[in-house]
Amino acid sequence: MAVATGERVRRAAVKLFATKGFHGTGIRDLAQAAKLSSASLYHYMGTKEELLAGIMRDCLRNLLDEATTALEGVSDPVERVRRLVTVHVTAHARQPNETRVADDNIEVLSPRLRRDVVRLRDDYEALWSDTIEEGLREGVFDTAQPTVTRIAVLDMCTGVARWYSSRGPLSLRLLAEHHVELTLRALGVRVSAGCGLANSRDPQACPGAAAEGRSWGE
Amino acid sequence: MAVATGERVRRAAVKLFATKGFHGTGIRDLAQAAKLSSASLYHYMGTKEELLAGIMRDCLRNLLDEATTALEGVSDPVERVRRLVTVHVTAHARQPNETRVADDNIEVLSPRLRRDVVRLRDDYEALWSDTIEEGLREGVFDTAQPTVTRIAVLDMCTGVARWYSSRGPLSLRLLAEHHVELTLRALGVRVSAGCGLANSRDPQACPGAAAEGRSWGE
Amino acid sequence: MAVATGERVRRAAVKLFATKGFHGTGIRDLAQAAKLSSASLYHYMGTKEELLAGIMRDCLRNLLDEATTALEGVSDPVERVRRLVTVHVTAHARQPNETRVADDNIEVLSPRLRRDVVRLRDDYEALWSDTIEEGLREGVFDTAQPTVTRIAVLDMCTGVARWYSSRGPLSLRLLAEHHVELTLRALGVRVSAGCGLANSRDPQACPGAAAEGRSWGE
Amino acid sequence: MAVATGERVRRAAVKLFATKGFHGTGIRDLAQAAKLSSASLYHYMGTKEELLAGIMRDCLRNLLDEATTALEGVSDPVERVRRLVTVHVTAHARQPNETRVADDNIEVLSPRLRRDVVRLRDDYEALWSDTIEEGLREGVFDTAQPTVTRIAVLDMCTGVARWYSSRGPLSLRLLAEHHVELTLRALGVRVSAGCGLANSRDPQACPGAAAEGRSWGE
DNA sequence: TATGAATGAGCGTTCATTCAT
DNA sequence: GATGAATGAACGCTCATTCAT
């Protein structure tokens, strides 16, 4: 069966919000991309802002769920970080549009709609801070500014959504592994040799990576 | 003497573009913030888009100049990276609005105005890639995916503009030093102990850090 | 049924463009005259300029069609001129606004929109020049400057749109007949007596003729 | 000495009002064409509308003066018409911009400024109607609709301003003579042969005649 | 004389949204 | 469901004009 109309609307919104921004995307752009009249759009959404909030909520909920699942029963901080990074990077590489929308538009939301989204984000971030604190407590991490380090690592992993392309030479797995290594290094973990990261060379990470937005680095 | 009117316009634009986005900022918002009528605004700017491009150009030009100056006569890749990171982080911490505008709005520009901006950015990036390549060649850096690492490090250093507050407990110097360390770790440089980074603890990096946009991590 | 909204818009535009000029007519004037909000206007038109071009195109197309039809199967130059003048004058008397808009605004159009309009006008004019040339060739017309004469005659017949009123004492038929006579005289045709034009006196052609624009002569 | 600034302003206005229309000409266009700032413009004019009215007034006053002078002591209706046409056509050929502005913008003026202009125009027209009436009374003219004929003739002679170019093959003298003939024919005067108009052929009246506005006929 | 600075009003057009059909 | 019709508000920008210097 074809994609349901409501889903088509949401997908159009995700793509447009990600590429042109919320304020840069008009209701008519949305309608056109969803092959609907702009009036019909309103059968599938509330306001434009609610549509945005819904996208952000779902994206963050997914991320939180995946991370929570991935951490279940794992207590070793190094392994927890591995999993957090993998989940985060994978999500941002696979759904760059969704995650960019979720990451970039919190300030657009009015207080009412912002609340839920912020809570989800904070819950998600707590997984990271708790893990890092535990690693420090256990002495397996070594960083003078854990909060700054956490933010830095998150920014670094989040950035993936803005440049990674699965059509480039770098597999999703390698991408994730590389970010795991970068993160562990940032946290001062001495990574044992032979983890498969230490020697291969990247030819060019992501040639298809697209437009201006991301020749940063290409 | 008071600030010249044209400068007031630019400052208003920097603040508003940074906080509400280019499309989220209306010409009337700008006028109000610059204490001018919307008609008078046009004595000090071309189009709204040209105003944006001007801000971006100047910001990137500054960054490029500062980095170029800082690297003058320095050939040791480690020292070069230290300086690049310091310049980058300092600029982003001191002028978070300018840098955010410059970093976030390339895709907004029409081709004509985009050209110059992209060139500046590419020139700036080249300083980083050249330095990293040289370090790899000399064997002082160790990273399997230098391009990815470079992007990651830049994202991490750029992120500073979104959360750092000079009113927080972290001095600009410490901030820069910490990012130098994170970057060198990412590049696989074994930092000798006692460099002053390895033991202090951050209480809370930046309590005044502001709105929702940055409780990411606070 | 009442007039369709789109038609109402066009009629308002015709009247306003004719009386106040294209640049003198604001989109809000148009909206008010069409009893619509200025936003709604845009359901029935493209840009204001396209609205103008459409009016001009239709007007000229009608004129061309009517003239072509009137000339079908007629080869006598005198009779052809009779018919051309009759069609032209009648159209300008009956639809003074449409024709004034079509006659006065060619230079307003941007090249893209101008092209079609100019082509129609040139095709129409060709009917006149061909006819006049043929009459000269046959020796039934006598004028030293046929091109100038053609322009003069056209200006004279076109002017009707600026002053004729059907509420005046002059019937449409007499108006046309009189212009036929003027035209044939200009072309040096010796009009046989008794054609009904040679003796009646006009009391006052058109007292209701309207504003200042045409008391020229009233 | 160079042209006085005030005169430069007026000339710029004449050209621009003629080609782009009053409403189509902005104060900035005027300033640029007069090589002045738009503020300085106001040292040489009142409002834009008063500038227009001044141009129209002067143009019509000139026309009226010239015609009055030309008619002085001439009582023969045919000769009077000759002179009226010659004056009118010459003025319109020599100062096409001034006359177009004067002819086309009466309805633009507000009542206060319109009054004088209309009076001048009516006085001028009276010369024509008086002459025609006299010719009819004397039996030298023969036209069933003298008012219509007068308007038609005036339209025809006025049109010259829209297409004649002194760079074309038609001399100003021939142009005037031809229009005299057309007018006399319209008035039913049997023109004696040998007046110099009856045989020469125009190749192409006015090739330089310009743009779209006047390929009507070219 | 000349102009930079300033503006209230208005330009043509598009915005997000509603509603009757 | 789907949409054409409709709109008040706002968009970026320009208008004609004034005034202090």
Quick check: B197 contacting A, CB < 8 Å?
yes
Nearest to B185 by CA among C72, A181, C204, D180: A181
Question: pLDDT band for position C104 (50/70/90)?
Answer: very high
CB C18 within 8 A of CB C97: yes
Q: Among B109, B132, B151, which would you mutate to test the A interface (most chain A Cβ atoms within 10 Å of its Cβ)? A: B151
CB–CB of B77/B140 below 8 Å?
yes
Tell me, yes or no, whether B130 and B202 share the same domain: yes
Do B93 and B31 share a structural domain? no
- C-alpha torsion sign, points D84, D86, D89, D90: negative
Option in B149, B197, B216 nearest A125 (CB): B216
pLDDT of residue A106: 97
pLDDT band at A191 (very low <50, low <70, confident <90, very high): low
Q: Do C147 and D204 touch (CB under 8 A)?
A: yes
Cα C65 from Cα C7, distance rounded (Å): 21
Residue-by-residue DSSP string for C58-116: HHHHHHHHHHHHHHTT---HHHHHHHHHHHHHHHHHH-HHHHHHHHH-GGGS-HHHHHH
| pLDDT at D142 (0 to 100) | 96
Q: Which two tokens stand for residue D179?
A: 């229009």
CATH number at residue B170: 1.10.357.10
Chain D residue numbers with beta carbons less than 8 Å from the beta carbon of C156 are 152-153, 155-156, 159
d(CA D112, C1' F8) / Å = 37
- Parent domain of D7: 1-45
A52 domain residue, yes or no: no
Q: Is residue A211 part of a domain?
A: no
C60 with C163, same domain?
A: yes
**pLDDT, tens digit, 9 for 90 and up, residues B80-127:** 999 999 999 999 999 999 999 999 999 999 999 999 999 999 999 999
Closest-approach residue (CA) in chain C for D152: C156
F20 C1' – B155 CA distance, angstroms? 51
- Residues 108-167 of chain C with CB under 8 A from chain D are 108, 114, 118, 121-122, 125, 142, 144-159, 162-163
Q: What is the pLDDT of residues C133-192, one digit of tens each?
A: 999 999 999 999 999 999 999 999 999 999 999 999 999 999 999 999 999 999 999 765
- Look at residue A3 in the predicted model and tell me its pLDDT: 84
Q: Are residues B10 and B80 in the same domain?
A: no
Give the pLDDT of residue D192.
53
pLDDT for res A1: 59
C26 CA, E10 C1': separation in Å? 9
Q: What angle do CA C138, C175, C156 make, to 5 degrees?
A: 60
How many Cβ atoms from other residues are within 10 Å of residue B29's Cβ?
A: 15
> CA(B107)–C1'(E17) in Å?
28
Helix (H), strand (E), coil (C) string for C162-179: HHCCCCCCCCHHHHHHHH
- Section D188-217 average pLDDT: 43
Residues B88 and B153 in one domain: yes
The residue-averaged pLDDT of C70-78 equals 97
Domain membership of residue D97 (yes or no) is yes
What digits encode the pLDDT tens for the residues A44-90?
Answer: 999 999 999 999 999 999 999 999 999 999 999 999 999 999 999 99
Q: Which nucleotide is nearest to A45 (CA to C1')?
A: E17
Residue labelled with tokens 């950015």? B121
B82 & B63 share domain: yes
Chain E: nucleotides below 7 Å from protein CB are: 1-20
A105 vs C200: which has the higher pLDDT: A105
Helices A172-186 and B172-186, packing angle to 10 deg: 130
The string of pLDDT tens digits covering residues B115-141 is: 999 999 999 999 999 999 999 999 999
> C178-214 pLDDT, tens per residue?
999 999 999 999 765 444 333 333 433 433 333 333 3
Please give the pLDDT value at position B191.
63
Q: Is residue D121 part of a domain?
A: yes
Dist CA A202 CA B63 (whole Å)? 28
| Encoded tokens for A14 | 């995700």
Which chain D residues are closer than 8 Å to C148 by Cβ? 170, 175, 178-179, 202, 205
Band (pLDDT 50/70/90 cuts) for residue D106 is very high
C54 CB within 8 Å of a chain D CB: no
pLDDT at C192: 54
Are B202 and A24 inside 8 Å of each other by CB?
Answer: no
Q: Which residue of A has its CA nearest to B143?
A: A198
Average pLDDT, chain C: 89
From the number of C-beta atoms within 10 Å of its C-beta (0-12, 13-18, 19+), residue B161 rates as buried
Find the Å distance, CA of residue B184 to C1' of nucleotide E15: 49
pLDDT at position C215 over 70: no
- Chain A stretch 90-109, residues whose beta carbon is closer than 8 A to a beta carbon of chain B: 106-108
Whether chain B lies against chain A with 3 or more Cβ pairs closer than 8 A is: yes
Contact C21 D19 (CB under 8 A): no
Whole-number pLDDT of residue C190: 79
- Chain position carrying tokens 């044939």: C184
Same domain, C58 and C150: yes
Per-residue model confidence (pLDDT) at position B3: 85
CA end-to-end span of chain C, whole Å? 39
pLDDT at D191: 62
Residues within 8 A of D (CB atoms), C 55-84 only: none
Residue D177 has a pLDDT of 98
Read off the tokens for C84: 């051309």
| Residue after which a domain boundary falls, among B10, B28, B45 | B45
B5 touches strand E (CB under 7 A): yes
Residue C103 has pLDDT above 50, yes or no: yes
Q: What is the CATH number of the domain that holds A26?
A: 1.10.10.60
Using a pLDDT cut of 90, give the percent of chain B over it: 85
Instruction: Name the nearest CA neighbour of C10 among C26, C28, C37, C33.
Output: C33
Residue D8: per-residue pLDDT = 96
Token pair 């499309």 in the structure block, residue: B23
> Quick one: pLDDT at residue D190?
78
Of D114, D121, D205, the CB nearest to C145: D205
Q: pLDDT value at position A192?
A: 54
Q: Does C15 touch chain D (CB under 8 A)?
A: no
**Chains C and D are in contact, defined as 3 or more C-beta pairs closer than 8 angstroms:** yes
Q: Given this model, what pLDDT does residue C69 score?
A: 98
**pLDDT tens digits, residue range A4-51?**
999 999 999 999 999 999 999 999 999 999 999 999 999 999 999 999
Q: How far is the CA of D55 from the C1' of E3 (A)?
A: 26
Domain identity same for B181 and B151: yes
Burial of B94 (0-12, 13-18, 19+ CB in 10 A): middle
D217 within a domain of the structure (yes/no): no
**Which residue of C107, C109, C177 is the best one to mutate when testing the D interface, meaning the one whose CB has the most D CBs within 10 A?**
C107
pLDDT of residue A190: 79
* pLDDT tier at C43, thresholds 50, 70, 90: very high
- Chain D contact set for C211 (CB, 8 A): 107
Considering the domain architecture, whether residues D142 and D93 belong to the same structural domain is answered as yes
Enumerate helices (H) and strands (E) in chain C, giving the number of each. Answer: 9, 0
Are D76 and D9 found together in one domain? no
Domain count for chain A, please give it: 2
Q: How many Å from the CA of A50 to C1' of F4?
A: 25
pLDDT at residue number A194: 40
In this structure, the answer to whether residues C36 and C67 fall within a common structural domain is no
Q: What is the pLDDT of residue A196?
A: 39
Q: Same domain, yes or no, for C91 and C122? A: yes
The span from the CA of A136 to the CA of C148, in Å, is: 98
pLDDT at D64 over 70: yes
What pLDDT score does C199 carry? 35
Q: Are D107 and C215 within 8 A, CB to CB?
A: no
pLDDT single digits (tens) C30-40: 999 999 999 99
The residue ranges of chain B whose pLDDT is under 70 are: 1, 191-218
Which of chain D's residues 37-76 bind strand E, using a 7 Å CB cutoff?
37-40, 42-43
Burial class (CB in 10 A: 0-12, 13-18, 19+), A61: middle
CB pairs C-D closer than 8 Å: 155
